[in-house]
Amino acid sequence: MRRALAILVPFVLTTILALTPSTADAPPPRASMLDRWARAALDGAETSVEDRERAMRNIEEAIRLEPADPGHWMVLGRLQEVGNHERLARESFEHAIRLAPEEPETRTRLAMAWKREWLRTLDTLALAHAIEQLDTVTHLRPYGSEGWLRLVPLRYEHGELPGAANAAANALAGRPRRAEAPLAVAYLAFRLGEIELADSLFRAAIPRLAPDLRALFDDPTRILNAPRPRDGDSADDPAQLDGAAHAAPPESAAAEEPTATAAGLALFAPLDPDPTTAANEVQLECWSRIAHAYFVFFDPLHPGLDARAETYMRYGPPRRVLRNPPGVSLIFKPNVLRTGRQDSFAGYPLDAEVWEYPELGMRILLHDRSLTGVYTQPVTREFIPGTIPDPRVLAARGDLLSIGGGASVFPTLPPRAQRLEVRGVVSRFEGARGPRLLAQVRAPGGPGDTLSARWVVIDTAGHEVTRGEQSLAVSACDPGESRLAEFDADLPAGRFDVTFSVRDAHRHRGVFRRQVAMPAPPSALALSDLVLCCGDPSQYAAQGAVRIEANMDSRVAGRAPLVAYFEIYRLATGADGMARFQYTYDVRRLADESSAKARAAAERRPPVGTWASREETQVGAMRRQFLRVATALLPAGRYRVSVHVKDLVSGGEAERGVEFVRE
């Protein structure tokens, strides 16, 4: 009996143990509890350092109890991120990915960790790692918006503009709906040259943004038009130390008008570089900078936008960014003047970035005094040369617009990759009802290209006087390479702003803009503008009408003559009903130098050539006249041709002139 029990008891125990679930296969209750405690510390609105240290101990113990759980490793990585242990955080995320390679949330967090490393060190390999992880996330969740949206600024910074636009489009179509997704599509549409689409998307997206982000779009004047922090401002000023590019909006911000505040409208309305369109390109450039700066520099671990984002909003992307370059001090000393001491031996390490804008003659120095990747303006009592745009550069660049005395700078022309080199000329004539404006614009294009032009005339009060639109035709000056559009309009006397815009089928565009004064027609003899023409003048007149094409380069080469056209108004008639007049022209060499002394010397030189017409007789008070000037013997240089007309009946005289270059 005893022998039978000795055999049966082990058998029964083995059977019971086989039927009982193994404790090794069941999750340890304590590990789950520790994980919940650690997550609660992470998700809490306000946590102290002691709370985070306790959470770190809890999750480390959970990992010892359950090392194969990827969720524990992700929580550990998040806690290490909060403690600014970026390398350890990346290692924890990578361990979690090895345990669960198809978990997109962990890969997203690893991508953001690599993004912070790229922003902190400017290491392009870190940028590539971030893009790689987000590419995997979008393959795992192709219909999720989060991965696509985070991929947008990284692809843009990697030089993949079409790829960034594709990511933004997928973010807009994905789930859950993100208010920032149409914002990404809008600013990339503008970068691709889709002006009208970008404008409509921005105006639809901005009202849906969070109040603090929307405030940047509604009223950018506090960034763009505000003076930059002065060198030497107190280091104890919280705003100075913060370097934040945005401030908390007023509580009534959500009740403001949906697209822009009065301050924003007042800033951008007079700055529109192309009034032929309904959109304001400077405003769209500003909004695009704000959007991209937000997507690149906003980090939930360090809420707010630092001095890098502010610099980008003011001046756009730099030509180059240098981290801790030679010759830049990497030590910060406190403000010794506030304590009354003459010198201080205390110094604290910092990181520095230099943003170079050689096209503006500017190098901006930024400091990371916390060593956490948050940059501020440097605190110093001395002026740092080159930290503002060079006024001489701004004065010489007609394609740049300065706001606030150099506080921010915007281009007035499209990017070079999308730019059409448009040339134009505006000439003043007289019509049956008063002053008449003739405007011509030329753009590069062959006979098979499709180009369209729009023009608008605006008076000094900002009111639109006239506008028009047409397709460009073949240019007589350069039939194989250029296309021409021509507009004319009767205008009242006054000053006007004339703007042309030209577009082709590939989203290339160009702008030509001129200020013109239209004087009231006098009661005596008068001349129109003297217009330089290209081609043979005998081909311009047909069936009593004259059609001219302006020589917009104002240049003549080889043995070709200089051809000019002008009109004579209000010739007096004699007793026989005939008008009689005579005209002369002379050509003078102008100074090639710009100094006042050189110009005065050129004025004293005698004309290099003078020619007088015979007495001309005609019926009528108005005369259309072409002028041919032989220039084959003229040396290369700048010249001015002047036409002098004398009415032989009334004795009235009038004169016009125009400059040209002999090549």
Residue type, 497: D
User: Do residues 441 and 469 make contact, with C-beta atoms less than 8 angstroms apart?
Assistant: no
**Residue 229 near residue 377 (C-beta atoms within 8 A):** yes
Distances in whole angstroms, Cα of residue 563 to Cα of each of 437, 442, 539, 555: 20, 19, 12, 11
Tens-place pLDDT, residues 136-152: 999 999 999 999 999 99
What is the model's pLDDT at position 356?
Answer: 96
Section 330-337 average pLDDT = 72
Which of the residue ranges 19-33, 85-99, 396-410 would you say has the lowest mean pLDDT?
Answer: 19-33
Share of the chain above pLDDT 70, in %: 84
Per-residue tokens: 621: 């008070």
Q: Quick check: 127 pLDDT over 80?
A: yes
Q: What is the enclosing helix (H) or strand (E) of 264?
A: helix 262-268
Whole-angstrom CA distances from 549 to 352, 359, 513, 568, 657 are: 56, 35, 18, 19, 18
CA distance to 70, 122, 387, per residue, from 548 (Å): 78, 57, 50
Percentage with pLDDT > 90 across the chain: 61
HEC readout, 183-212: HHHHHHHHHCCCHHHHHHHHHHHHHHCCHH
Name the helix (H) or strand (E) containing 171: helix 161-173
Contacts of 141 (CB under 8 A, 6+ apart): 104, 147
- Check residue 24 and give its pLDDT: 45
pLDDT in tens, 469-510: 999 998 888 888 999 999 999 999 999 999 999 999 988 999
Q: Tell me the two tokens of residue 118.
A: 């790229």
CB atoms within 10 A of CB 348: 12
| CA distances from residue 398 to 51, 285, 402, 604 in whole angstroms, order as listed | 58, 17, 11, 32
Instruction: Compute the half-sphere exposure of residue 395: CA atoms within 13 Å on the CB side of its CA.
Output: 3
Lowest mean pLDDT among 119-123, 247-251, 435-439, 461-465: 247-251
Residue with tokens 């790829």: 163
Higher-confidence residue of 617 and 269: namely: 617
Pairwise CA distance, residues 174 & 148, whole Å: 8
pTM of the predicted model over 0.85: no
pLDDT of residue 606: 74
CA-closest candidate to residue 33, choices 68, 72, 77, 82: 72
For CA atoms 108, 114, 118, 123, the dihedral sign is: negative
Bridge partners (DSSP) of residue 389 are none
Strands 400-403 and 526-527: unpaired
The per-residue pLDDT for 273 is 92
**Who's near 430: CB < 8 A, 6+ residues apart?**
436, 521, 526, 528, 567, 569
- pLDDT tens figures, 45-73: 667 888 888 999 999 999 999 999 999 99
Residue 343's pLDDT band (cuts 50, 70, 90): low
- At 236, the amino acid letter reads D
The mean pLDDT of 310-339, rounded to a whole number, is: 86
Nearest to 584 by CA among 566, 602, 559, 603: 566
Measured distance CA(324)–CA(365) in Å, rounded:
10
Q: What is the pLDDT of residues 410-431, one digit of tens each?
A: 999 999 889 999 999 999 999 8
| Mean pLDDT of all residues in 539-550 | 70
Using 50, 70 and 90 to split pLDDT, how confident is the model at 11?
A: very low
pLDDT (mean) for 454-459: 95
CA–CA gap between residue 458 and residue 438 (Å, rounded)? 15
Q: What is the pLDDT of residues 509-523, one digit of tens each?
A: 999 999 999 999 999
Closest by Cα among 554, 553, 550 to 534: 550
Mean pLDDT confidence for 609-638: 87
**Nearest C-alpha neighbor of 156 from the set 191, 181, 108:** 191
Q: Check residue 23 and give its pLDDT.
A: 44
Instruction: Name which of 10-24, 197-211, 384-398, 511-525 the model is least confident about.
Output: 10-24
The residue type at 245 = A
Q: And the tokens for 69?
A: 């759980």
Average pLDDT rounded to a whole number, residues 188-200:
95
Hey, which of 9-13, 74-78, 603-607 has the most confident mean pLDDT? Answer: 74-78
Q: Decide if 68 contacts 31 (C-beta within 8 A).
A: no
